[in-house]
Amino acid sequence: MAQVSSTDRNKIVEQQFIDLVLSGELPDVVSSLTPAQLGLSNSDLLELFLSQVTSRHLDLHSRVMQKQGQSFYTIGSAGHEGNAAYGRAFSVQDIAFLHYRSGAFMVERARQVAEQDPIRDILLSFAASSEDPISAGRHKVLGSKILNVPPQTSTIASHLPKAVGTAFSIGLSRRLNLTTPLASDSVVVCSFGDASANHSTAQGAFNSAAWAAYQSVPLPLVFICEDNGIGISTTTPTGWIKANFKDRAGLIYLECNGLDLLDTYQQAQRARAIALEQQKPVFLHVNLVRLLGHAGSDSEFSYRSQTEIEANEAQDPLLYSAALLLKHQVANRQALVDYYLDIQAQITKVAAEVVQKPKLSSSQAVMASLVPTERRPSSAKSVTVEYRQQLFSHEQHNINKPQHMAKLINWALHDLMASYENIVLCGEDIGKKGGVYSVTSKLCDNFGQNRVVNTLLDEQSILGGAIGLAHNGFLPIPEIQFLAYVHNAEDQIRGEAATLSFFSDSQFTNPMVIRIAGLGYQKGFGGHFHNDNSFAVFRDIPGLVLACPSNGQDAVEMLRNCVCLADEEQRVVVFLEPIALYMTKDLHETGDGLWSFDYVPPVEQVSEPDQLLRAVSDQLTVSSYGQGEDLCLLSYGNGYYLSRQAEPLLAALGINCRVVDLRYLAPLDQQGILAQVSACRHVLIVDECRQTGSISEALITLLIENGISLPQVVRVTGEDSFIPLGKAAYCVLPSVEQIVNAAKSITQVS
């Protein structure tokens, strides 16, 4: 072997292949299988080997580029090149959610589609070039629209829940007789590492898949666990993966040797056949090794001995594949080395070209795909009068009477589900029970269990399942039962749903409307977990729309608008519903009915004349009550309701107000807010959320940056506290009295 530093493992592994192949000192071929037994020709086997070699040299060259300041990501696939076998075993129609060590899978899958150049594409990604065909320079990701591989940036298996949802959607499309992007005879393949299998997100996905399969719900899904025995520096206990998954209810366990192309190919074929024919989830356990550390910056010598490192390198899958090709006389030793060196030279040549390609050079270019760029025609269908009469037959005695918010949202959902055949509701207790607050009452009766899906108690699975449904053309409306429950599943919104358009240059989208019941003022019911007054978790997610109605009339209009946003603009929307206002009917005194509203059917809803010529997102506007110029009360949700209660009390003091309802909390209607505020002498922001981290901070910033004098602006907010049980809850939330006192102070009215 050529003399190189013992610490330069990249060069050692690179040269080792050449030396051992030429000398014939290769590992024994374990498999007794022949290519012909698996339907593979000699040329097929050679292609698999070439895909492995291509992946290896891409890994090696990424580290060369990194040292030259030309590449910015060096987590590679070395040791995992056996995944080329299931790159061939699974059809390109099988959507693939991939582990970041799946380079050989991508190279091999590219053979299924004409005129693909995986070397150039992956190198463009290494170089963060704006010509990278998947992310346009935003990240080094393995993905391709034409190869049916959504890009993944996850290192913690957060892509597993959406893989479950996507598999569920395939059977669902058959049951609903809908034409969807994924073929009815396709499966979903999802790969990940052994360390990631321990993450709670992964465990939730395994559990939800098994939970569904245990109840005979069709789920054509293959989980592929690539087990290299280590997560960065933490070893996986020997036998841990097998012990955990071999006899797990609802999962079919298979195992293969990832160093053996033929064994891996056979078991991958078997896994796909089982998933397709039995419509059950399969767990394929692939045993392999990790070479060259976790990433280019990872020094294995800090946690592995040289003996251990060399033992791993002796298990190089390329050596096993070379031995296999020699055994079956696919090529001789020199030919194998020539292939190896030719691919290395090709990658070096292409890399020299791609590093000269343009990069993203402005914030506008970077942010261009935060929001999907393509606007699609509405998928809403016309609904006959007769069908609507049938749909609302249980409400004939109420339909023409003013109603509270919960009832009006329920009716809006009925109309929306009638118009959009691809809407699917999913959440805990939303079926026969109709949800905790009856907002989904009768929807399951009218649209069936396939469109109103009662889920298990796991918010990660609910949101991930919705993302998966969206991948297959559905328009999901998942429900999170209480705002506090979303925090354990935040990454499904932040790290998965909201990033997909950004990292795929708008090629992939997962539109949805996430309904969440939340905020405070529930007379202390349930304590903190049912009275959560912080939604800051949503406000810093780029591209996400956050809507919050304060009354039933707005809730109907806004929910329809949000569904349009998801359908036509492919947006991710959070629809935050104030629980305390669900059943509120009165405003100033019992029986006045001023917070009850008529239901406006979809065809009668008033819209601007040029509405069809505008993007739906242009309609995310504030609304206002009153034309007073003394004081602008700026609020939302419960705060708007309290401000409306305060308005006549202030009028009696000679303070003429206008009360502005923000309605959409992200993005803020900045021009609408400034127009309302500039018409008044003073501004009082009423924010039911905490003083620190609340939207009132953003509003103050907006006003100051646009020349509104600070002495004219005052805040009334919640305290920096969790909400306690009982009447004590009102000690830390804004009140009408506080609003009136603050208004008197700022206007200097005694």
> Both ends of the chain: CA-CA distance in Å?
92
Instruction: Taking residues 589-611, report their average pLDDT.
Output: 78
Instruction: Taking residues 277-285, report their average pLDDT.
Output: 98
What is the location of CATH 3.40.50.920 in the chain?
622-747
Q: Is the pLDDT of residue 524 over 80?
A: no
Instruction: Taking residues 412-416, report their average pLDDT.
Output: 97
Q: How far apart are CA 525 and CA 725, in angstroms?
A: 7
Q: How far apart are CA 638 and CA 533, in angstroms?
A: 10
Q: 1, exposed or middle or buried, with CB in 10 Å at 0-12, 13-18, 19+?
A: exposed
What is the location of CATH 3.40.50.970 in the chain?
9-361, 385-605
Cβ–Cβ < 8 Å for 5, 327? no
Q: How far apart are CA 494 and CA 482, in angstroms?
A: 18
Which has the minimum average pLDDT: 534-548, 549-563, 705-719? 705-719
pLDDT confidence of 32, banded at 50, 70, 90?
Answer: confident
**What is the pLDDT, as a whole number, of residue 614?**
52
> How high is the mean pLDDT of the chain?
93
pLDDT confidence of 171, banded at 50, 70, 90?
Answer: very high
Question: 0.75 cut: is pTM over it?
Answer: yes
Q: What is the DSSP letter of 633?
A: E
**What is the pLDDT, as a whole number, of residue 182?**
97
- Residue found under tokens 């003073």: 682
The architecture CATH gives domain 9-361: 3-Layer(aba) Sandwich (3.40)
Burial profile 266-303: b = 16 or more Cβ within 10 angstroms, e = fewer: bbbbbbbebbbeebbbbbbbbbbbbbbbbebebebeee
Q: 311: how many CB neighbours lie within 10 A of its CB?
A: 12
Helix, strand, coil in percent for the chain, rounding step 5: 45, 15, 40
Query: CATH for 622-747, among 3.40.50.920, 3.40.50.720, 3.30.70.120, 3.30.360.10?
Result: 3.40.50.920
Give CA torsion, residues 62, 68, 69, 70, to 10 deg.
Answer: -50
Cβ–Cβ < 8 Å for 264, 86? yes
CA dist list (Å): 657 to 164, 336, 654, 699, 702:
52, 82, 9, 18, 21
**What is the pLDDT, as a whole number, of residue 45?**
97
Cβ–Cβ < 8 Å for 572, 511? yes
* 713: helix, strand or coil: strand
**What is the pLDDT, as a whole number, of residue 615?**
67
Instruction: Kindly report, residue by residue over 427-486, the tens digit of the pLDDT.
Output: 999 999 999 999 999 999 999 999 999 999 999 999 999 999 999 999 999 999 999 999
**What is the pLDDT, as a whole number, of residue 610?**
42
Instruction: Taking residues 7-25, report their average pLDDT.
Output: 92
Token pair listed for 330: 């696919």
Q: Give 22-69 as a DSSP string.
A: HHT--PPP-----TGGGT--HHHHHHHHHHHHHHHHHHHHHHHHHHTT
**What is the pLDDT, as a whole number, of residue 605?**
53
Q: How far apart are CA 533 and CA 727, in angstroms?
A: 16
Q: What is the DSSP letter of 235?
A: E
Q: CB under 8 Å to 43, separation ≥6 — which residues?
A: none
Q: Is the pLDDT of residue 641 over 70?
A: yes
Please report, rounded to a whole number, the percentage of residues in the chain having pLDDT higher than 90: 83
Amino acid code (one letter) for 1: M
Q: 672: how many CB neighbours lie within 10 A of its CB?
A: 18
Amino acid code (one letter) for 319: L
**What is the pLDDT, as a whole number, of residue 274?**
98
Instruction: Taking residues 377-385, report their average pLDDT.
Output: 91
- CATH class, range 385-605: alpha beta
Among candidate residues 545, 530, 536, 314, the one with its CA nearest the CA of residue 436: 530
**For residue 320, which phi and psi values (nearest 5 degrees)?**
-65, -40
Sheet order of strands, 545-547 included: 452-454, 423-427, 475-480, 512-518, 572-578, 545-547, 664-666
Among candidate residues 37, 145, 42, 39, the one with its CA nearest the CA of residue 89: 39
* 237: helix, strand or coil: coil
Q: How far apart are CA 287 and CA 264, in angstroms?
A: 9
